[in-house]
A and B are shown apart, each in its own frame.
Chain A
Amino acid sequence: MDKVIDLQIWQMAAAYIFVLVLLVIVRAKGIKRESEIVLSSVRMTIQLIFTGYVLVYLFDNPNPIFSVLVYAAMETFAIFNIFKRMKQKLSAGLKRIIALSMFFGTTVSLLFFILVVVNVSPWYDPRYFIPIAGMLIGNSMTGISLGVSRLTDGMITNKSLVEGALMLGATPKLAAKQIVDNAFDSAILPTINSMLGMGIVFLPGMMTGQILSGTSPLTAINYQIAIMLGILGSVALTVITFVQLGYKTFFNKDSQLIIED
């Protein structure tokens, strides 16, 4: 339990056999994914090694400015990643709302988590601040991406329903209500579902990492429960902020539906 096996370089290299196996399979099946597989394995390796060194440095030199900078970088990366992932064209207004909701939802949840739930002192202690921020931002990013695509698709495919409601004198809020509710629902559903299988079907990454590196499973579980609830809160807050503000960008000040086609 207290003896952690430090992986040797050759042991790590052996893990790459999994990648080779996959490469052989896709080659045999004629699936053209080799370059993506190689690229993503290499990127994963380089990014993690780089992050490892950055974290070592940050942990040795706790500094509020560093913590906030890392936070800002993660947030920015996440927001641009959302923009990039969307198949649909996003209006400038919608992009602004996405950025605002991400920033608001994750920051409020992070502060609550750091200050109240874990009561970290000092608050910027990178050992807590950075991984927790990463988890909240990462999960909120996935949630809001779903929300954005459901809202945008919903508005486009239900254009005549929304306009039909406006023609009768509905406010944009009422006219878009069903689409907004659906978008919220489908954006938080994966997070809710993931809690169902938790601990039985799979051990979440954070806990696995902690247990492997020698933490007692009970401590790891306490953290995991707290972080799951924190993630749920952050996803919900981010997505609700997004849908409540986001639908408005599909209407102008005269309550007319504006969908560029």
Chain B
Amino acid sequence: MFQIIDLKYKNILDIKELEIPGQRITCIVGQSGSGKTTLLRMLNKLISPDSGKILYNDENLKEIDSIGLRRKVVMLPQTPVIFNGTIRDNLQIGLKLAEKPEAADSELLEILEKVHLKKGLDENADKLSGGEKQRLALGRVMLLKPEVLLLDEPSSALDEETEQLIIESVVEFSKRNNRTLIMVTHSKKVADTFADNIIEIKEGKVVEA
């Protein structure tokens, strides 16, 4: 799915070779500041490497239209982004920004259930707790059902029990729809339980693939 060859970015990333398989669950682990977020941003083409290349389905990312790519390879940022408005607005806005048709309320409620957010669609999103915001943002990207989901520490603000539930739910969702899931996590337990493939990054280099 993704292939990285001789990639260099500032003095942050230096990856000789890396392959991330499609339709699998890949976990990226490593110390704080090692370059995990930077790598995800690169796969989303939010930034481009200084040298080397990234292939997506054998096509160089450089040649792929950024917006088209990001609609297939969606990224969830480490700090959840919450827009002004209700929970409904915050779920629909993903579809609106990606220029896709709106979803019915029933579909939104289904997503809220998947991320274990027991709130009404008309509630103000700004009032949610940190962990609830994180789950709302996760719900937003799941609603887009992209080919690839890039999740940057999707459960960092959650207690261990909720974390397991949420990750299990998104893993199940990806598997059932034959999607690719790439997620950064600090939890060894999450990686060990759910990953088909673990990538460890240390000071910008891949140590284990």
Contact = CB atoms under 8 A, between A and B. Distances in A.
Interface of A: 160-161, 163-171, 174-175, 254-257
Contact of B97 (A165, A254, A255, A257): A165
A170 B6 CA distance: 29
B87 interface: no
B41 to A, nearest CB: 8
Interface residues of B, number: 25
Nearest to B75: A167
A165 B67 CA distance: 11
Interface string B97-108: 111000000000
Interface of B: 44-48, 66-68, 70-71, 74-77, 79, 81, 83, 94, 96-99, 140-141, 144
Given A170-B98, A171-B67, A256-B46, A161 B81 contact: yes
Most B CB contacts (10 A, CB to CB) among A166, A168, A174, A255 go to: A168
Contacts of B79: 160
14 contacts: A160-B81, A161-B83, A163-B46, A163-B77, A164-B77, A167-B46, A167-B70, A168-B75, A168-B140, A168-B141, A169-B67, A169-B97, A169-B144, A254-B66
A164 B46 CA distance: 10
Contacts of A165: 81, 97
Nearest to B80: A164
Contacts of B81: 160-161, 164-165
Contacts of B99: 169, 171, 174
B4 to A, nearest CB: 18
Given A167-B77, A254-B45, A256-B46, A174 B66 contact: no
B47 A256 contact: yes
B144 A168 contact: yes
Contacts of A164: 77, 81
B201 to A, nearest CB: 20
A244 B144 CA distance: 29
A174 B83 CA distance: 14
Nearest to A171: B67
A169 B74 contact: yes
B98 A168 contact: yes
Contacts of B46: 163, 166-167, 256-257
A223 B46 CA distance: 53
Which residue, of A163, A165, A169, A171, has the highest number of chain B Cβ atoms within 10 A?
Answer: A169
Given A160-B81, A256-B46, 20 more contacts: A160-B77, A160-B79, A161-B81, A161-B83, A163-B46, A167-B44, A167-B46, A167-B70, A168-B75, A168-B144, A169-B98, A169-B99, A169-B144, A170-B97, A170-B98, A171-B99, A254-B45, A256-B47, A256-B48, A256-B66
